[in-house]
Structure 1
C-alpha cells in the first residue's frame, strides 16, 4: 500500500502499517479459518490494536484531522472493521476489493463519511455481492459512498489509482 499511497497522494503524510499474521510470503491483518471465512473474533481483536496504532500515529505526527484509511483485500476488510468499531477514527476510507467484516451487523452512524469502494467484476476471491452489500451497509449508516465496479480481477489496477487520486482530490 505504500506505493499506492505515494501514487495517489504524493504530498500527504501517510503511514503504512503491516499486518501481523504471516500468510504465505506476506502478511495479513487478521486470521481466516481453514475454509477462508473471516475469523471475526481475531478481526475485532486486531482492529483494536490497529486503532491504537492509528491514534498514536495521528498524535505523533500532529495531524490536524483524522486520516483517510486505505486498504486492499485483507486490509480493506480491516479498514471497514475500523469504521464499524471506531467511527470517528477516519476522515474517509478507500476500500479496494473489500468484503463486509460483519455482513449481518449494522454499522454505527457514519454521517457524511466519504468512502470509496473499488471492486473487480472478475474478482475470483470475492462473492459478487460482497461490495454491494458493504456499500449498502455503509450507505444505511449515513456514509457518502462511491462504489465502482472495475473491469478487473482481484489485483490492483491503474484504474484503482486514477479513481482513488480523483476521489481524494475531490475530498480536499
Structure 2
C-alpha cells in the first residue's frame, strides 16, 4: 500500500469500486465528490499521484507541456497497478467491479493502465483524456469485455480533441467497448457529460469475470 490514499467502502455490495485518479495539482480528496455523483453507493478508492512537478501532484513526468515521458508512464502505470491489486486484497474488493474514474492527468494514467495492464479494470470513465502512449504504439492487447467512456472538449487547449479520438481508436482496435462523448467546451467536465457518464456507469454490468 505504497500510495497515500483514502478508501470509502460501498454501501451496497452490488455496487462497483471507483478508482479515482485526480488531475495535475490535486490530491486524493479531489474526486470524492465526483465519485459520489457518479454512484452514491460505490466504494471509492482514491490514491495520490507520486510525481511532484513544481509542487503539483501528478501521476507521471512530462518533458514539457503536452510531451510525456513514456518510460516514466510505463513504470508509474505498473506501480499504480500493483497498488490497486494490493488494495483489492486489503479491502476485499471484487476485481470484476473495478472502474477507473480519471480527470486529465488522472484520465491519462487510467488509459495507460487499460493498455498496459489489461484485465485489471472492468472499465473506465476518462474525462478530458488524451492518448498517453502516442509516442510508442501500445501492444495489441485484448480488451474485450472492457467498457470505456471518454469525454473531450472541442475547445480544449490543454489536450487537443484529436488526442481523445486517437485514444478511442486505440482502445476500440483492441476490442474495448468505447463511448466517445465530445462537447463544445474546454478542459472541463460539463454537467451534461457527467449526466451521461452516470447513465453509462449505471448500465454497466459488473461482477466477477470468468
Normalised-by-shorter TM-score class = over 0.9
Change (3 A) 1:153 1:59: same
1:70 counterpart residue number: 101
- State the Cα deviation string for residues 21-46 of structure 1 (Å, max 9, x = none): 22355311011113430011111111
Task: Give matches, 1:119-138, under 5 Å.
Answer: 119-138=152-171
Q: Does 1:105 align with 2:137?
A: yes
Q: C-alpha deviations, 1:84-116, integer Å up to 9, x for none?
A: 111010010111111112124144110131000
Pairing 1:157–2:176 present: no
Corresponding residue of 2:52: 22
**26-35 vs 80-89, which deviates more?**
26-35
Q: Per the alignment, in what secondary structure is the counterpart of residue 142 of structure 1?
A: coil
Report the 3-state secondary structure (helix = DSSP H, G, I; strand = E; otherwise coil) of the residue aligned with 1:147: strand
Unpaired runs of 5+ residues, structure 2, are 1-30, 206-210
TM-score by length of 1: 0.93
Conserved? CA contact 2:143–2:174, under 8 Å: yes
Unaligned runs of 5+ in 1: none
In 1: Cα distance, 2:95 partner to 2:52 partner: 32
2:73 partner SS: helix
In the alignment, does 2:147 pair up with 1:147? no
Q: Matched residue of 1:152: which SS?
A: coil
Q: Which has the higher strand share?
A: 2
CA distance, structure 2, for counterparts of residue 100 and residue 120 of structure 1: 14
Q: Which residue of 2 aligns with 1:10?
A: 40
Question: CA 1:36–1:130 in 2, change beyond 3 Å: closer, same or farther?
Answer: closer
- Rounded Cα–Cα distance in structure 2 between residues aligned with 1:155 and 1:168: 19
Return the alpha-carbon distance in structure 2 between the equivalents of residues 22 and 32 of structure 1.
11
* Aligned-CA RMSD value: 1.5
Whose helix fraction is larger, Structure 1's or Structure 2's? 1
> Could you tell me how far apart the structure 2 residues matched to 1:24 and 1:95 are?
25
Q: Please, what TM-score do these two structures have when normalized by structure 2?
A: 0.77
